[in-house]
């Protein structure tokens, strides 16, 4: 990915900094707050906490980045293109992010928080006995497919960069799946208390999560070879149900 700034961008940024940014700096105008702010709040590239107007600009840049990932590879995505799409300047982009990859990391962190909440809730809130329990397994299989589908350009970048060893994306991917894995292992341990040959619940949960994530990430490849998504979900649900409960899937499932 090329993140090098154009030759005239440093001067443009200097001008923007000199006037304290076209997006506003003073709290009264909803710009960047230079002194106070929650440490958990998103920060500008210089460490200041964006105000209301600054946050809106930051989010617009992120929305454009995510939208452009649908048509551009992340290595080809450049600051000048994102800024143009957002209707602002590269200098403004650099007020919030030092490079394109950092913006993508921010998007990935948000996705991890959303996935952690959505997917883990399916495990914790759903029953695991009888027909209703099998419906939980179906909901999890479908939930993974839909979560990846809604964010496929971002998830593709996360998978590729994590595989390449980028620690930022590896950490985010771990946060996305870790709580779900732990919750699933706890369900396995509680459901299979009478299993005469129990397998380490965490090992079983880890294998299941690897299956769910891998199939969700590569479902278009499966579809290319004629395997429908509905059948992928059905197969994952049956494997999930049998591994978690130690029982055969209900008839007709």
| 150-161 pLDDT, tens digit each | 999 999 999 889
pLDDT band at 105 (very low <50, low <70, confident <90, very high): very high
HSE toward the beta carbon, residue 90, CA cutoff 13 A: 19
- CA atoms of 187 and 208, how far apart (whole Å): 13
Asked whether the predicted pLDDT for residue 58 surpasses 60, the reply is yes
Query: Domains of the chain by range and CATH?
Result: 9-98 (1.10.10.60), 101-245 (1.10.357.10)
- CA atoms of 225 and 22, how far apart (whole Å): 51
- CA atoms of 76 and 70, how far apart (whole Å): 12
> In 74-195, which residue ranges form alpha helices assigned H by DSSP?
79-86, 90-96, 100-125, 130-150, 152-163, 167-191
Q: Compute the CA torsion angle 157, 163, 169, 175 (nearest 10 deg).
A: 110
pLDDT band at 238 (very low <50, low <70, confident <90, very high): very high
Across 135-174, b (16+ Cβ under 10 Å) vs e yields bbbbbbbbbbbebbeebbbbbebbbebbeeebebbeebbe
- DSSP three-state, residue 211: helix
Residue 243: how many other CB atoms lie within 10 Å = 18
- CA atoms of 184 and 202, how far apart (whole Å): 8
The per-residue pLDDT of the chain, averaged, comes to 82
Determine which helix (DSSP H) or strand (DSSP E) holds 50, and give its type and residue range.
Answer: strand 49-50
Q: What would the pLDDT profile of 170-179 be if each residue is shown by its tens digit?
A: 999 999 999 9
pLDDT at residue 36, as a whole number? 38
Which letter does DSSP use for residue 49 in this model?
E
Determine which helix (DSSP H) or strand (DSSP E) holds 231, and give its type and residue range.
Answer: helix 229-245
How much is the pTM?
Answer: 0.75
Asked whether the predicted pLDDT for residue 94 surpasses 70, the reply is yes
What average pLDDT does range 98-118 have in this prediction? 94
Asked whether the predicted pLDDT for residue 20 surpasses 50, the reply is no
């Amino acid at each position: 990915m090329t993140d090098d700034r154009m030759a005239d961008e440093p001067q443009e940024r200097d001008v923007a900094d000199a006037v304290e940014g076209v997006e506003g700096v003073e709290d009264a105008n909803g710009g960047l707050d230079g002194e106070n702010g929650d440490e958990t709040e998103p920060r500008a590239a210089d460490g200041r906490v964006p105000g209301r107007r600054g946050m809106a600009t930051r989010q617009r840049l992120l929305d454009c980045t995510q939208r452009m990932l649908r048509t551009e590879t992340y290595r080809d995505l450049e600051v000048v293109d994102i800024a143009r799409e957002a209707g602002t300047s590269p200098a403004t982009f650099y007020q919030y992010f030092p490079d394109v990859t950092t913006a993508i990391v921010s998007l990935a962190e948000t996705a991890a928080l959303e996935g952690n909440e959505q997917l883990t809730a399916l495990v914790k809130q759903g029953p695991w006995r009888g027909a209703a329990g099998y419906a939980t397994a179906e909901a999890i299989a479908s939930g993974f497919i839909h979560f990846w589908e809604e964010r496929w350009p971002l998830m593709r970048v996360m998978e590729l960069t994590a595989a390449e060893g980028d620690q930022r994306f590896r950490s985010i991917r771990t946060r996305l799946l870790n709580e779900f894995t732990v919750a699933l292992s706890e369900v396995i341990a509680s459901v299979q208390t009478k299993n005469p040959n129990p397998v380490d619940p965490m090992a079983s949960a880890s294998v299941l999560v690897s299956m769910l994530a891998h199939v969700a990430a590569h479902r278009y490849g499966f579809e290319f070879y004629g395997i429908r998504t509905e059948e992928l979900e059905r197969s994952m649900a049956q494997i999930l149900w049998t591994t978690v409960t130690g029982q055969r899937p209900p008839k007709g499932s």
